[in-house]
Amino acid sequence: MTLEEFNRVIKEIHLAFPGKRMDLDTLEIWHRHLSECRYPAVKQRLDAYIRQNSYRPALAHLYVRDETETTVLDMMKEWEREGEKKIGDGRYRDKLRPPWEE
């Protein structure tokens, strides 16, 4: 999240929940943590929070951990690479037989 996007989030919080303003130290902490997040995800959480609550959100309410997406195909490719390493030069081929041949 950029500084401009962060400022938009804070402005919306102050407009939706008038009252005590955040001090500079609080804003620095919020910016440090929210700068790790993507703006659309934080904005979506803020919008949902505003609709459901009547008090100002805490930082934890808006923080969205950026998760890496893992697909089944990626996992299968990883397993294939591991299998190739284990089988490698054929040392284990004699030991690895299909169950119907045992």
The helix or strand, by DSSP H or E, that contains position 77, with its residue range, turns out to be helix 72-87
- 67 in a domain, yes or no? no
Confidence of residue 17 (pLDDT cuts 50, 70, 90): very high
Give yes or no: residues 48 and 86 share one domain.
Answer: no
Domain range holding 9? 3-62
- Give the pLDDT confidence score for residue 73 in this predicted structure: 80
Give yes or no: residues 57 and 10 share one domain.
Answer: yes
At CB < 8 A and 24+ separation, what contacts does 63-68 make?
Answer: 63/33, 63/34, 63/37, 64/37, 64/38, 65/37, 66/36, 66/37, 66/38
Q: Is the pLDDT of residue 11 over 70?
A: yes
| 12 in Cβ contact with 24 (< 8 Å) | no
Q: Is the pLDDT of residue 70 over 90?
A: no
pTM for this structure?
0.64
Confidence of residue 92 (pLDDT cuts 50, 70, 90): low
Instruction: Please report, as a single letter, which amino acid is at residue 89.
Output: D
Give yes or no: residues 14 and 42 share one domain.
Answer: yes
> What is the count of structural domains for the chain?
2
